[in-house]
């Protein structure tokens, strides 16, 4: 499951002095290091460690992605959750209407940041259905050399193999 975000947990197998086996669920395993797994009780000897990787659910991925967007960390959200072959579709014509690949989509984000001053951004959701989720964005921004405006936009995200493989936006065009 390389590249798939996941939660991990560890179960240590312990043996008491009397020889009976018992199991202890450790708190959290973060990127291979155990936490909340203090030493075993006196008279108990660790005899093994079992770790299990649990793939992140669509709901978990959508919430984490949304939390990053809500904090204004759009670049970090993309870096963490976009697939390398992501497709991004915007409700417009021109070069940025349909982009394919992480590099192209990151370029769109960079262009946006360089050409707009964002005053505020509200993010609602996620609304999950199957392998997709929707976010609603409401942005107050000023394009370079133009007047300040607000825009409502919906983003429909499709998840495959634990990553966002497509983002498709729908907007009111700004007001």
| pLDDT tens track for 116-167 | 999 999 999 999 999 999 999 999 999 999 999 999 999 999 999 999 999 9
Same domain, 78 and 159: yes
Identify the helix (H) or strand (E) that includes residue 37.
none
Q: 104-119 pLDDT, tens per residue?
A: 999 999 999 999 999 9
Task: Please report whether residue 139 resides in a domain.
Answer: yes
Residue 123, phi then psi, degrees to nearest 5: -125, 125
Same domain, 46 and 64: no
Which structural domain, as residue segments, surrounds residue 21?
6-55
Helix axes 74-81, 102-115, angle to 10 degrees: 180
Ramachandran sector of residue 153 (left: φ over 0; alpha: ψ -120 to 50; beta: rest): beta
Task: Please report whether residue 1 resides in a domain.
Answer: no
Same domain, 30 and 94: no
Same domain, 136 and 165: yes
Model's pTM, two decimal places? 0.70
Same domain, 41 and 88: no
Among 12, 7, 11, smallest CA distance to 54 is for 7
């Amino acid at each position: 499951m390389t590249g798939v975000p996941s939660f991990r947990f560890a179960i240590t197998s312990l043996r008491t002095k009397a020889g009976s086996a018992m199991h202890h669920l450790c708190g959290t395993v973060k990127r291979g290091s155990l936490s909340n797994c203090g030493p075993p009780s006196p008279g108990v000897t660790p005899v093994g460690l079992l770790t299990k990787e649990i793939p992140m659910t669509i709901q978990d991925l959508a919430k984490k992605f949304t939390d990053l967007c809500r904090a204004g960390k759009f670049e970090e959200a993309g870096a963490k959750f976009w697939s390398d072959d992501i497709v991004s579709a915007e409700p417009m014509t021109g070069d940025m209407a349909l982009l394919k690949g992480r590099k192209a989509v990151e370029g769109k984000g960079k262009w946006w940041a360089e050409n707009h001053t964002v005053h505020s951004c509200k993010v609602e959701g996620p609304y999950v259905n199957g392998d997709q989720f929707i976010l609603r964005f409401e942005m107050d921004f000023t394009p370079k050399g133009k007047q300040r405006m607000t825009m409502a936009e919906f983003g429909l995200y499709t998840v495959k193999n634990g990553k966002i493989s497509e983002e498709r936006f729908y907007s009111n065009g700004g007001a």
